[in-house]
Amino acid sequence: MGAHDLLAGLGILVGLVGTVLVVVPGILIVILSVVVWAVFESSPAGWVAMSLALVVGVATTALKYLFPGRRLKRAGIPTSHMLAALGVAVVGFFAIPVVGAFVGFVLAIYLLQRQRKGAERAWGATSAALRAIALSVGIELVGGFVIATVWVAAVVWG
């Protein structure tokens, strides 16, 4: 096991942790770690692992936005509120380290829904937003673990 194997493993670990803590773009770091590793490895196993990492990464990214977005729509949250909440989440990410994006998104959904539907019905939309965030993180985490598994297999059998 060479230095590039250890660095790739560390990058994958950072990406997986970043997926849960939402501090760094987790799946992107996992993918980039495998791509850089494959370039240094320069073997058939490396190229296969890189190809699979890219396919799984693109699919994961699509799914992590598609399914939670559908759930939010079913909960009656308009697209304009989702976009506004995403904007607040970006600001929150920089304003409150580690948890700011999460807090900003949920708070924005609650306040917008409270204004739209009233205090009694705002919590239903907010809990739907919390479930959507959990689903999104779960999808990204599963995708990251699949990519990590492919990488480990390539290291072992490559």
- Tell me which residue has tokens 């072992």: 156
* CB under 8 A, 24+ apart: contacts of 76-81: 76/117, 76/125, 77/109, 77/113, 77/125, 77/128, 77/129, 81/108, 81/109, 81/112, 81/113, 81/116
CA 74 to chain CA centroid, Å, is 21
Question: In this predicted structure, what is the pLDDT of residue 145?
Answer: 97
Q: pLDDT class for 79, splitting at 50, 70, 90?
A: confident
- In the predicted structure, residue 1 carries a pLDDT above the cut 80: no
Question: pTM higher than 0.85, yes or no?
Answer: no
Residue 71 structure tokens: 């759930």
Residue 34 structure tokens: 């495998």
Q: Are 132 and 139 in contact (CB under 8 A)?
A: no
Task: Return the percentage of the chain with pLDDT > 70, whole number.
Answer: 99
CA distances from 134 to 19, 32, 114, 127 (A): 11, 24, 22, 11
Question: In this predicted structure, what is the pLDDT of residue 101?
Answer: 84
- In the predicted structure, residue 45 carries a pLDDT above the cut 80: yes
CA gap 89, 108 in Å, rounded: 8
